[in-house]
Amino acid sequence: MRAFFVILHRWAGLPIAAFLFLSGVTGAVISWDHELDDLLNPHLMEATSSGEAIPSLQLAKQIEARHPEVNVSFVPLLPEEGKSLAFSVEPKVNPDTGSLYEVPYNQVFVDPITGEELGKRFWGAPWPITSENLVSFLYVLHYSLHIPEMAGIDRWGIWLMGIIAVIWTLDCFVGFYLTLPSKRRSRVNGTADEAAMEDSSTIAKTWWQRWQPAWQIRSNSGAYKLNFDLHRAGGLWTWALLFILAFTAFSLNLYREVFFPLMSQVSQVTPGPFETRTPTNFHEPIVPQLSYVEVIRKAAKEAQRRGWKEPVGSVFYAQQFGVYGVNFFYAGGDHGSAGLAPARIYYDGTTGEYLGVREPWKGTAADIFVQMQFPMHSGRIVGLPGRILISVMGIVVAMLSVTGVYVWLKKRKARRKYELQSTKQWKGAVGASRS
C-alpha cells in the first residue's frame, strides 16, 4: 500500500509542480497588491488637489461622455484624502459589428476634487507588462495563467488552476501519510518487544520516536538529504496551511461549477444572484434599465431598515448577469485588509427587483463558510499577520515544488544507474556462461 501512495504522490506532484511554483511566488507578491500598486503608480493613485469632492456619480457621467464606447461598471463613492478614485469600465456593443468595442483599458482614474482624468489602464492585461499593470498581471497569472478566451469561453485558465487545486488538495493527504512511520514492530535485540506492544503509552512514545525524524532537517548531510528534509519537514510543519490554500484555491476557481453545488448538497447554503443566474455571452451584455441613482436610493433605504450603520461605499453593475451590487463600508474599508468582505445588497438591473443580501458573519454556517473562502486564501481574515503568513506560505509552496522535483530527479538518476549496472552484470554473467 505504501508503495502505491509513493507512486501516487510522485505522479500527482510532478505535473502540478511548475504551476504551484508559479502560484506560490505570485501569491507571495499579490498579498500586498494595494500597497505595491500605490508604490508603483503614484501618478494614478494619488490626488493632490484640495477642496470639496465632486459627487462620484457625476464623475461617472463625465467619464462616459468622454469615452462613449464604454459604460462605467464600478463607482467608488467615498473618496479618501490624497487618493484618486478608480472607476471600472466595460465596453459597449458596437452597433456596426454586433460585438463589444475593443477598448484598451478597463479602469479610469479621476481626481475627485477637480474631476481631472489622471490616467487609464487595463487591469490584468497580459501584455505589455508595465509598472501600471504589473501587480494586476501577477494577480491574474496567479489564478488563471492568462489563458485567453477560446470558443467563446474565457475561463479555461481558471478551470485548469481549479483542477490543479483539486489534485493538490488530495495530494496533501497522500504526502502526510507518507511521512508516517511504517507499521513495523519495534525490535529489541532482534526480537519483538512484547512489553512495549502491551503498554499503550510505550507504543505511542516509540511511534513518535520513529516519526520525529520526519519533522527535522539535516543541514550537514549533503544536498540530497537537505532537499528531502526540506520537502518532508516543510510540508509537515505547514500542512494545515497548505491544505487551506489548496482547498480554498479549488473553491474559488471552481466555485460555480463544483464548490457551490457540492455545498448545496451537504448543507444549507443561501444562493445569491450569481449562483442562480447563467451569465450571457460575453458580447451580449444585459443593458440596465435602472440608473445608479435609483439603485443606490433603494439600497440605502433597505440598509436603513436593517439597521446598518455603514454608508454606501460603492456600487457596481455586472452586465453579463444583469445584477447591481451595492456595498456598504466606511472610507478605506473596501481594501479587504481584515475580516470578511463588506455587506452588500443585490438588485435586478432590468426590473429593480431585490435579489438578496450578503452580510459578513451572517447566515447559515454554510453561508459563513462560503464567505470565508477568499479571506482565508488571502490571509486577510486575520488582517496584517495573515497577509504576512500567506506571503511566507507562497515561498514555502514554491520551495516544496522545487525540492520535490529535485528529489525525484535524484532518485530517477539513482534508479537508472542501478538498472544500468544490473544490465551490465547480467550481460557479463551471460557472456561468462557462454564461454
Grid cell, residue 134, equals: 504589473
Measured distance between the N- and C-terminal CA atoms of the chain, rounded to whole angstroms: 44
Please tell me the predicted confidence (pLDDT) of residue 190.
47
Q: What is the mean pLDDT of the chain?
A: 89
Q: What is the DSSP string of 286-304?
A: PPPSS-HHHHHHHHHHHHH
Mean pLDDT of 196-224: 79
Query: Which amino acid would we find at residue 89?
Result: V
Please tell me the predicted confidence (pLDDT) of residue 215.
92
Query: Which amino acid would we find at residue 21?
Result: F
Least Cα distance to 374 among 409, 336, 402 occurs for 336
Rounded Cα distance between 137 and 114, Å, is 30
Grid cell, residue 97, equals: 459589428
| Bridge partners, residue 121, by sequence | 107
Please tell me the predicted confidence (pLDDT) of residue 185.
46
- Tens of pLDDT, residues 104-127: 999 999 999 999 999 999 999 988
Residues with Cβ within 8 Å of residue 107, at least 6 apart in sequence: 86, 87, 88, 89, 120, 121, 122, 123
Q: What is the DSSP letter of 320?
A: T
Domain annotation for the chain: domains and CATH numbers: 1-32+172-183+208-270+368-427 (no CATH), 280-362 (3.10.450)
Q: What is the DSSP letter of 154?
A: -
Grid cell, residue 196, equals: 512495549
Mean pLDDT of 199-226: 83
Rounded Cα distance between 75 and 59, Å, is 9
3-state DSSP call for residue 43? helix
By CB atoms closer than 10 A (0-12, 13-18, 19+), residue 229 is buried
- Tens of pLDDT, residues 331-346: 877 765 557 889 999 9
Q: pLDDT band for 188, please (50, 70, 90 cuts).
A: very low
282 with 98: CB under 8 angstroms? Answer: no
292 with 315: CB under 8 angstroms? Answer: yes
Rounded Cα distance between 30 and 36, Å, is 8
Q: Is the pLDDT of residue 157 over 60?
A: yes
Mean pLDDT of 24-28: 96
Rounded Cα distance between 180 and 214, Å, is 8
- Tens of pLDDT, residues 348-384: 999 999 999 999 889 899 999 999 999 999 998 888 8
Mean pLDDT of 319-324: 95
